[in-house]
Structure 1
Amino acid sequence: MWDYVLERRELIAFQAFQHVSLVVQCVLLGTVIALALAVLVYRSPAATALANGVSAVGLTIPAFALLGILLAPFGFGITPAVIAVTFYAALPVLRNAVVGLAGVDRSLVESARGIGMSRSAVLFRVELPLAWPVVLAGIRISTQMVMGIAAIAAYVLGPGLGGLIFSGLSRLGGANALNSTLVGTIAIVLLALVLDLLLVLAGRLTTPRGIRV
């Protein structure tokens, strides 16, 4: 397998870059969407329950099925891959953001309002900072989950290391088929660990010192 890696190191490195790029961009987009939705619903118990239900149901949709549905309107390529990965990336973040925002001590919110802070100021200076550790936990879960889903996106000719895995699986028993599958899988696991470590470090830098665990 080592010889296989050395012979194809440039291709593997390029596909690894594509994979990380797809995951990072989709997680960022999914986080923005999820936070916007959470801000809209967290004050309403009914809307909160609906958002939690949508996130739970959404995670039960098989990635292959969703990608297959997206083929009809968008065809093969990057577009269905980005839509599917972003969809799955947003779900854990949405759930955690709603829980985090709804769980902020109401006495702190009322105190902030009592000293003359506007609703938007309370949101950005009190509620979101206090909810951030819970939101970040959702982002970490989302990132780990979509690392694997991004590999499945190779089914619609999406970018990334999934191409190596699918190529190997389609040639099982042939030359280097097992090496191709193993290299793609191991590379995804290693990249997932690296991204999780970076998120842990980001959490240490962005979480207010007073609420760090």
Structure 2
Amino acid sequence: MNFWEYLRSRQELLVFETWQHASMVFQCVVAALVLGVAVGLLVYRSPRLSGFATSTAGAVFTIPSLALLGLLITPLGLGVAPSVVALTLYSLLPIVRNTIVGLNGVDRTLVDAARGIGMGRGRILLRVELPLAWPVILTGARVATQLAMGIGAIAAYVSGPGLGEQIFSGLGRLGGANSINMTLAGTLGVIVLALLFDGCFLVIGRLTTPRGIRA
């Protein structure tokens, strides 16, 4: 059968796997955003701690995805758990780095002015530094989402959910019936999801960035 016939015949399965993929990526990026921003807030004032946090997240990022997923099988087994842990870890680097860069990039004169009118450290962070750093932090989350979208497909290696099942099954049956259709359906599904998520980030950026600092 041709590609369009394959899509029609597997419509319910493809919709379900697409939803699984999108849900997994969304949850992992949200978890990484919470963890990454928290780490950034703790270390951004110290160059030594900032360097350590960025280097640690970078070291995790350099581990090949198949190797990390394979290592996680022993403690976590197959399925959702190793997939979620791996995607969350890979998503941390751009978020941690951008949080530190964004907070350090805030104009110190604005911080001094806020301190001069009696704001405490906590209020300055919440009312001045975080809002000004938010566009940079959001860019980190946007990059992390695109990374997680692609790596999420590889999670099928450990029986993870999502469109990776289509890609791996198709590659495993190269030369067989529907092998190209399966691989193409999974690949195009990941691309479409990546574009949709990126569009959502553009909208979120417009809605959440203070008007005075929009590009």
- Say whether 1:181 aligns with 2:183: yes
Residues in 2 aligned to 1:108 and 1:50: alpha-carbon distance in whole angstroms: 27
Q: Tell me the TM-score normalized by structure 2.
A: 0.97
Within 5 Å, which residues of 2 pair with 1:145-184?
Answer: 145-184=147-186
Which residue identity does 2:165 align to in structure 1?
A: G
Q: Could you say which residue in structure 2 is the equivalent of 1:112?
A: 114
Q: Tell me the TM-score normalized by structure 1.
A: 0.98
Q: Could you say which residue in structure 2 is the equivalent of 1:207?
A: 209
Which residue identity does 1:209 align to in structure 2?
A: R
Offset of 1:57 from its aligned partner? 2.3
Tell whether the 8 Å contact from 2:61 to 2:89 is kept in structure 1 after alignment. no
Tell whether the 8 Å contact from 2:76 to 2:82 is kept in structure 1 after alignment. yes
Residues in 2 aligned to 1:58 and 1:167: alpha-carbon distance in whole angstroms: 28
Residues in 2 aligned to 1:102 and 1:186: alpha-carbon distance in whole angstroms: 39
Paired residue total:
213
Offset of 1:54 from its aligned partner? 2.0
RMSD: 0.8
Report the secondary structure of 2:176's partner residue.
Answer: coil
Offset of 1:56 from its aligned partner? 2.6
Q: Could you say which residue in structure 2 is the equivalent of 1:79?
A: 81
- Say whether 1:35 aligns with 2:37: yes
Which residue identity does 2:212 align to in structure 1?
A: G
Structure 2: state its 5+ residue gaps. none
Residues in 2 aligned to 1:81 and 1:131: alpha-carbon distance in whole angstroms: 30
Q: Could you say which residue in structure 1 is the equivalent of 2:137?
A: 135
Structure 1: state its 5+ residue gaps. none
Q: Could you say which residue in structure 1 is the equivalent of 2:49?
A: 47
Residues in 2 aligned to 1:114 and 1:88: alpha-carbon distance in whole angstroms: 40
Q: 1:196 aligns with which of 174, 198, 206?
A: 198
Q: 1:97 aligns with which of 96, 99, 106?
A: 99
Structure 1 stretches of 4+ moved >6 Å: none
Offset of 1:58 from its aligned partner? 2.3
Q: 1:62 aligns with which of 61, 64, 71?
A: 64
Q: Could you say which residue in structure 1 is the equivalent of 2:146?
A: 144
